[in-house]
């Protein structure tokens, strides 16, 4: 995170910054506290609205991260847009197979292709997915570079990176290992006080 960002263990800012006025009664921007130009009410610019929205709404943060990274993983370089297209293509082929009432073996091949795609991308594989539909809500995570529990909450865009599902799983496991409490040493044997 860049200097000046608040360090917080809250994921988002839960309040709307108050509207203050300078000595002449001019409104000061809710975010940067500079005078609000004519024609605007309580934010000096869209940039300041964005700064606040990124910190207060996970959906807004995600939209800005996508605008910047285009779904490309910061760790391994995987392009999740390409993955999405591959999934769409596979599903279209599966639908064609089903409508054409083609041999069962072809359907099994498509499902095997799906299994491999899941294995390489970190998407959870479910047998028969091609029949029932795709269950994951997204193929990349807007990941806090400094975890929220370690003070990376309420961060700006600089506090986020795009991670593919595989890298995100690895990162989550690493954080869990880091935060796992070390086991207390075995209690020393009690002194034989009552002998
Ligand atoms: Zn401002
Ligand atoms: Zn990755």
CA of 49 to the centre of ligand 1 (A): 8
CA of 118 to the centre of ligand 2 (A): 13
Distance from the first to the final alpha carbon of the chain: 61
pTM, entire model: 0.82
Taking the C-alpha atoms of residue 29 and residue 79, their distance in angstroms, rounded to an integer, is 38
Closest listed ligand to the CA of 79: 2
Indicate the average pLDDT of the chain.
89
Long-range contacts of 166-170 (CB under 8 A, 24+ apart): 166/76, 166/78, 166/121, 166/122, 167/73, 167/74, 167/75, 167/76, 167/78, 167/122, 168/122, 168/140, 168/141, 168/143, 169/122
CA of 26 to the centre of ligand 2 (A): 48
Count CB-CB contacts under 10 A for residue 97.
17
Averages of pLDDT over each 10 residues, the chain, 195 residues: 64 93 95 95 96 96 97 96 92 89 88 91 82 72 95 96 96 92 73 60
CA of 26 to the centre of ligand 1 (A): 13
pLDDT in tens, 45-75: 999 999 999 999 999 999 999 999 999 999 9
Structure confidence at residue 192 (pLDDT):
63
Taking the C-alpha atoms of residue 123 and residue 114, their distance in angstroms, rounded to an integer, is 10
Structure confidence at residue 128 (pLDDT):
73
């Amino acid at each position: 995170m860049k200097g000046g960002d608040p360090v917080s263990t809250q994921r988002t800012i839960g309040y709307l910054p108050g509207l203050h006025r300078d000595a002449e009664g001019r409104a000061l921007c809710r975010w940067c506290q500079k005078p609000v130009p004519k024609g605007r009410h309580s934010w000096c610019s869209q940039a300041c609205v964005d700064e606040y929205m990124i910190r207060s709404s996970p959906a807004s943060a995600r939209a800005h991260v996508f605008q910047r990274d285009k779904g490309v993983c910061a760790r391994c370089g995987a392009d999740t847009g390409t993955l999405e297209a591959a999934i769409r293509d596979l599903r279209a082929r599966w639908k064609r197979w089903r409508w054409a009432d083609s041999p069962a073996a072809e359907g099994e091949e498509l499902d095997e292709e799906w299994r491999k795609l899941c294995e390489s991308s970190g998407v959870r594989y479910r047998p028969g997915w091609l029949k029932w539909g795709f269950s994951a809500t997204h193929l990349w995570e807007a990941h806090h570079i400094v975890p929220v529990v370690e003070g990376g909450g309420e961060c700006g865009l600089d506090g986020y990176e795009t991670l593919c599902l595989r890298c995100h799983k690895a990162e989550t496991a690493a954080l869990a290992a880091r935060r796992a409490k070390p086991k207390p040493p075995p209690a020393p044997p009690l002194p034989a006080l009552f002998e």
